[in-house]
Chains A and B, each alone.
Chain A
Amino acid sequence: MKYLLVLCVLFSSFATSNGFAQNNKTIEITGVVTDDKNEPLVGANVVVKDIPGLGAITDMNGRYKIKVEPYNKLLFSYIGFKTEEVVVQKETVINVVLTEAEASVLDEVVITGTGAQKKINLTGAVTAADVEVLKSNPSASITNALAGNVAGVMAWQRSGQPGQNTSEFWIRGISTFGASTSALVLVDGFERSLYDINIEDVESFQVLKDASETAIYGSRGANGVVLVTTKHGKSTKININGKVETIYNQLIKVPEYANGYEYATMLNEARITRNQPPVYEEDELLAIKYGLDPDLYPSVDWADVILRDGAMGYRANVNLDGGGARARYFVSVSYVEDQGMYKTDDELAKIYNTNANARRYNYRMNGDMDLTQTTLLRIGISGMLKKVNDSGKGTSVIWNSLTGQNPVQMPVVYSNGYYPGFNVSDIRDNPWVAATQTGYRQSWTNEVQTNVTLEQNFDFITKGLKFIGRLGYDTNNNNSIQKIRQPERWTAERFRDDNGEIVFRRVNAEQLLTQIPGTGTGDRREFLEAELHYNRGFGDHHTGVTLKYNQDSKVQTYNLGTDLKNSVPYRHQGFAGRFTYDWKRRYYANFNFGYTGSENFAKGNQFGFFPAVSFAWNISEEPLIKKRWEWMEMLKLRYSWGRVGNDNVGTRFPYLYTISEGMSGYQWADFDFSRTYGGMSYSAVASTGITWEIATKHDAGIDVSIFGDKFSITADYFNEKREGIFMSRTSLPWIVGLNPGDNPKANVGSVLSQGADGNFAFKQKIGNVNITLRGNATFSKNEILERDEGFKNFPYQYDKGLRVNQRKGYIALGLFKDWEDIRNSPDQTSWGKVWPGDIKYKDVNGNGVIGAEDVVAIGATAQPNLIYGAGASAQWKGVDFNIHFQGAGKSHFFLAGGIAHPFSRGQWGNVLKDVVANRWISQDISGDPATENPNATYPRLEYENVSGNNRQSSTFWLRDASYLRLKTLEMGYSLPKNFINKFNVNKMRLFFIGTNVLTFSEFKLWDPEAGSTDGGGYPLTKSYTVGLTINL
């Protein structure tokens, strides 16, 4: 139905475009459009300049027919060819030869903070992502396409849940442990969310990486900046693009758990092996094994019960653009739907949906108007509505229950129809009941964004002078509702009564569908920017000056409560400038600065000056090179230095103290009475000197393009020292009189971060086949130089010298072989008695006792420190093929929780299939000495004892989260022009995309990207997409 709708829109708009009345004064012009080899061009555009909507398309023979008034201009255009303009006089036949446009690297344009620049003139580090490549990821969020596609961006997707399936990303990795690590994202110039933008609206996607590009953002540019611009109309006849995609999603990997019999025998083993009585008698195991009592001795595969094999997703998009010379428009509508993986109750599904799904509608209208010859007014309005659905108890409870609910505790439903389960408020539940019987919850997000831009060209005053003013106004809000129902839940006693019947106890009474309103969030943002550009060349000298003033405010609009702080807007103000100079496009020198401020800090600490300089030497422009090595199209060396800040410290007004009432006071009453009066005290201490973090950044880069852009490479080395990192003083002694949590904050930390990023592309045409190979990589490593940590006994205990968020734990030396081994090893009784088969740790400090001082840094961080991607694409006539691999490395995580440590939470927690085969088993139980394997993957089983010896973080549980995956596999077929032109269709492409099709990783239990310690949580998905694009 959805396609039908989209197609209807497509066709109806097509119909109107053809339905223009034409008067009698016009003359009919015909002709043939050919290329320089005299081949007719099928589907070339012929439009009348400055008359919107009037135009034609050439047919199979390259012929066109158009009615036009004399002395108008006809524009002939075709993708990949230069546009020709012909003035109509008296002739009625106009034949046109279009010449192929030469794609030259020299003409490539990159958007920067102060406007568009030619890539050749760039002195800073900017990655311009190929939007077409990003589009081939059929995920709902553009962020999921960043990893391995955009050099300089580290991205990490944590969840596959519809509505939550976005990626966290960092530009050049993480370089602070205090303030926020996220990049500043600007959509059409203003700070906006990237997560829910419609990817089809994106015209360009740039990542500003070094200080010379981000200095103008001053105290907000330290974590890098993402610039997204949206599409605007061009002066052509109406151009309609439609795209529909149907996506079949599957979970990449759900952890596999032991079945009921395996679980029950291991449960007994876990108890027997530690001298505890078993839970199940031998004869009870028999009933589980043969499924003879599915009420009391079930064996349930919960994942199979509640998860579908796959779920559908849909994307549809229609956009129209066009216009005349005076006014142009771009209009788009899109719809994205992601369905969840939960099965639903057939009866309830008729009334409401309990599945986790997300639907999103986007629209955008960008209009450009030439008010005068020199004045351009741009107005952009866009909006987004997202609805996210989930089951009543919510996805977190469902996955918690899926990993926690063992196969033998309860059946899906008792044979008399009773629902088993836990209490209503318990975060544990019968997964089937939680997923299908507890009602549903919905949340919705609205975003409305408005841009108004006025560009005034002052060429008439002095050549090269231009003013740009921008206004923006956004409102965002989010709200939710829960319609919760609780079925009557029951629990059966362990044994049957004297008559052999099951004894039930009701856990909770039935609660009918009840509405619970959610607490919404919302904000309103206002932006103002004014820019003055002056670009002019004087002979061989080219200069440019840009001055920019900006201010913005963001204020919370929901749930303000009584706290005055909530209603005070976050405000920024700044003045920035850029001075560029080059001589003969050979030697470049740029100076950028930002003088920016934030109201979050005390007066005197609010404004700061952030300078940056950059130089570039375009060697390929040297006459010698130009003469000798013609094929060297570009060879440019770049260097930049600068300082930028990060004011996103998270704490509101850190320079203010808070005094709270209700502290413990004094008892004034006599015996047996109570008259207490509470006191007042500081609940937050003022830290008056707080300000932003400062990053000092160096960047050295090289850009090469040879053989007519056949091969190009860009590589950058970066070095960043972040100082004044915002953190709580931890070294204050108790004598100061503050609780450690209330300690004042200070700008004391320092982190050095360095690394490299780059990308290459290779284009070759072999016969009729166009081949492109491309690759990119980002690597970063950071080191804490300074951190307020207080005194520690051993140097390796300090965070100083380690990576930010580096994993820490004990060094495991395998499993204890026998009692003799335990006696001969350092004392390891910190967590109780150890047994053979328990993990043996290294005594790092050599004091003969294993304890907290033996914890050292092991492994890297949970976030990947290396992200890379490589791919190839080929086109042959109408067929295109694209393959893209993406990988991540240098990331580690600990297996932890009830899944890695079976039975640590008693009988809440499933047992991994992996544990069944690869654990240490006492030979008293197995009867085979070989099972006492000191190199087993899992130690001797243990019941409960959550914080016991084997549950400590150590190298034993450290896993490498590196992975390489076939991220995209795309095949497309464009229908022959001469066929589709019969239906007035300009272009039509059918395609298939496979996403995350294959994953290679040393870690096999679940998908490593999510970094889950226990395999809980909604896994990432792989998808198969079929789609269709139409251009009319």
Chain B
Amino acid sequence: MRKQRRMKHQLSAWVLSGLFMLCMSACKDNAEDTTGAFDPSQPVEITEFSPKNGSFKTRLYIYGKNFGNDVSQISVTIGGLPAKVVGSDGEIIYCLVPKRAVGGTIEVTIGESANATAPGKFQYESKTIVSTVAGYISPTGTKEVKDGAFADCGFEGPRNLVVDPKNKKHIYMIDGMGLSIRLLDFETNTVTTVLTRGQGGWDNIRQLTFTRSADTLLIANERNVANGLAVSYVTRQNGFKRPQNLVWMQRNNTCTIHPINGELYYNCRDNGNLFRYDFGTNTSETLYPIQTRDCQFFIFFHPSGDYAYFTVPNKKYIYKAEYDWDNKTLKVANTFAGNGSEGWQDGQGTNARLGNPMQGCFVKNETYVKEGKSDIYDFYFADQNSHCIRYLTPEGFVFTFAGRGSTGVNSNPYGYIDGDLLKEARFNQPVGITYDEENKTFYIGDANNSRIRMIEMDE
């Protein structure tokens, strides 16, 4: 009996081990791939590179031999400037052309010593690109409002921007949903907070405008009570520090000065009414309503004072109102672009669709000057919901100027990408825009990216 039992166990063990052998699927890890590794005993060679010319961040492929595939060991300089090396398979190095790499000589160094120089030179071409001036938001979306150097400062979400006419190196801006007025100082490359909401008794700072003298800064406030504070002002004399109140109106959004005659325009969002304030008589008069109910709009005068554009974000229109030089007031405004439904579509007049047109600025177009046109200004505006910078020609065509690039990967039009205006750049709810005519530079308040962006030639 005992013997039988033991034999039985032996049998079962035999069967079991057989079964387990069958169950086990041998699975070995692949051996370390050594192809493409750098061989110090062999020279590094560059045979070719492509493309031969390009601009900042051009993807450059350097062909040759014995580069190795360890990116950390490979350094490439173009015109003496270090280029970011992204990848290498031993025979092709993929790197990005650094900014202003005008020297053009391509050098590859592997490890400490082994190096090679490419035959021929890379031709660097300048172009207009989007870049970032200041601000930071972590990839997880956290941000910190912080004054300091551009490289180490933070914003809630930059909105309207205005260049100080007396010092083009100073840009005043609204941060967040009217939380504070801050100063971007390009002399010292620092950000400082000038005024906060509480200091002026404001609810939501909406727009900043310098008067004709450029010594007074008007501040539009939106307060949703009857006769709420509408426009305040601060003066240069006081270092733009002591706000004083000017006019009162429920839910004002804008404050705009006629560039020649100097009177003030403001509005009421609830009924869309436009008001004119005369500094001479200190009186306001109601002009007319835009739409009838709940109409938010901002007014931007042409430098000549001949007309003004009204951007109407919540109704998806841009209106145009001619100036009545005789009565020194704005004539009735008419639809100029957009068809009332939200969208992103370039086109003329009502064929164009607008996302949420916010701040705009007039920019002189040299081509128009050459052509001898009567109106030589285009109107550039930040289209918040379309996530791009667009412009409106005097003939009423709307074009997209920058943003919504990087098609592919994800279909979102928004994001944070610098670079080529249309191919690469992305904004995330740009709201503010202003133009420095001397340096031909745009500054953009990119609200959801919490950054100040810049568009200029990389020379």
Contact = CB atoms under 8 A, between A and B. Distances in A.
B416 A503 contact: yes
Interface string A355-375: 000000000000000000000
Contacts of B50: 283
A1013 B131 CA distance: 47
B23 A493 contact: no
Interface string A491-533: 1111111111101111001000000000000000000000000
A296 B25 CA distance: 35
B12 interface: yes
Contacts of B411: 906-907
Interface string B39-76: 00000000000110000110101000000000000000
A310 B25 contact: yes
Contact of B59 (A15, A287, A310, A1028): A287
Contact of A283 (B59, B87, B405): B59
Residue of A494, A504, A990 with highest tally of chain B CB at under 10 A: A494
Given A309-B25, A500-B86, A494 B16 contact: no
Contact of A506 (B95, B139, B416): B139
A279 B407 contact: yes
B16 A496 contact: no
Interface string A275-295: 001011101101100111110
A310 B22 CA distance: 13
Given A244-B19, A292-B87, A493 B94 contact: no
Interface in A194-238: none
A156 to B, nearest CB: 30
Nearest to B9: A11
A495 B419 contact: yes
Interface in A458-501: 488, 490-501
Contacts of B19: 3, 244, 246, 1026, 1028
A503 B87 CA distance: 17
Contact of B15 (A281, A310, A506, A1028): A1028
Interface string B411-434: 100011111000010100000000
Contacts of A116: none
A387 to B, nearest CB: 21
Given A292-B88, A504-B139, A493 B57 contact: no
Where chain B touches its partner, the secondary structure class is: mixed
B153 interface: no
Nearest to B408: A279
B92 interface: yes
B404 to A, nearest CB: 12
B71 to A, nearest CB: 9
Interface residues of A, number: 55
Contacts of A292: 61, 86-89, 92-94
Contacts of B1: 18
Interface residues of B, number: 51
B96 interface: yes
A385 interface: no
Interface string A1002-1032: 0000000000000000000000001010000
A283 B424 contact: no
A283 B61 contact: yes
A4 B16 contact: yes
B87 A498 contact: no
Nearest to A492: B409
A858 interface: no
A300 to B, nearest CB: 14
Contacts of A445: none
Nearest to B415: A493
Interface string A14-28: 010010000000000
A498 B417 contact: no
Contacts of B18: 1026
B369 interface: no
B417 A503 contact: yes
A982 B8 CA distance: 9
Contact of B7 (A296, A409, A506, A982): A982
B410 interface: yes
A246 B8 CA distance: 21
A498 to B, nearest CB: 6
B4 interface: yes
Nearest to B94: A292
B86 A494 contact: no
Given A279-B407, A503-B416, A496 B96 contact: yes
Contacts of B12: 7, 11
Given A279-B408, A280-B408, A286 B416 contact: no
Contacts of A505: 139, 141, 415-416
Interface in B254-303: none
A496 B60 CA distance: 14
B23 A409 contact: no
Given A290-B89, A493-B426, A494-B408, A983 B94 contact: no
A904 B347 CA distance: 27
Interface string B110-153: 00000000000000000000011000000111000000000000
B84 interface: yes
A491 B407 contact: no
Contact of B94 (A7, A293, A506): A293
Nearest to B7: A983
A509 B142 CA distance: 12
Nearest to B21: A1026
A283 B92 CA distance: 12
Contact of B57 (A15, A495, A985): A495
A1026 B22 contact: yes
Contacts of A15: 5
B51 A495 contact: no
A718 B426 CA distance: 69
Contacts of A294: 87
A312 B95 CA distance: 46
Nearest to B131: A498
Contact of A248 (B11, B25, B139, B410): B25
A237 to B, nearest CB: 18
B84 A501 contact: yes
A246 B21 CA distance: 11
B364 interface: no
B406 interface: yes
Contacts of B410: 409, 491, 494
A984 interface: yes
Contacts of B5: 11, 15
A490 B25 contact: no
B11 A312 contact: no
Contacts of B16: 3-4, 7
A982 to B, nearest CB: 7
A284 B23 CA distance: 45
Contacts of A501: 84
Contacts of A284: 59
Contacts of A509: 140
Contact of B84 (A4, A500, A985): A500
A267 B411 CA distance: 14
B86 A277 contact: no
B406 A495 contact: yes
B168 interface: no
Residue of B1, B25, B93 with highest tally of chain A CB at under 10 A: B25
Interface of A: 3-4, 7, 11, 15, 18, 244, 246, 248, 267, 277, 279-281, 283-284, 286-287, 290-294, 296, 309-310, 312, 409, 488, 490-501, 503-506, 509, 906-907, 982-985, 990, 1026, 1028
23 contacts: A11-B12, A15-B5, A244-B19, A246-B23, A248-B22, A279-B407, A293-B86, A296-B86, A493-B406, A494-B408, A494-B424, A496-B84, A496-B86, A497-B418, A498-B57, A498-B132, A503-B417, A505-B416, A506-B141, A907-B409, A982-B4, A985-B8, A990-B15
Given A290-B89, A906-B411, 7 more contacts: A18-B1, A279-B407, A496-B96, A499-B84, A503-B416, A983-B4, A1028-B15
Query: Which 6 residue pairs spanning A and B have beta carbons closest together?
Result: A500-B84, A292-B87, A494-B406, A279-B408, A292-B94, A504-B139
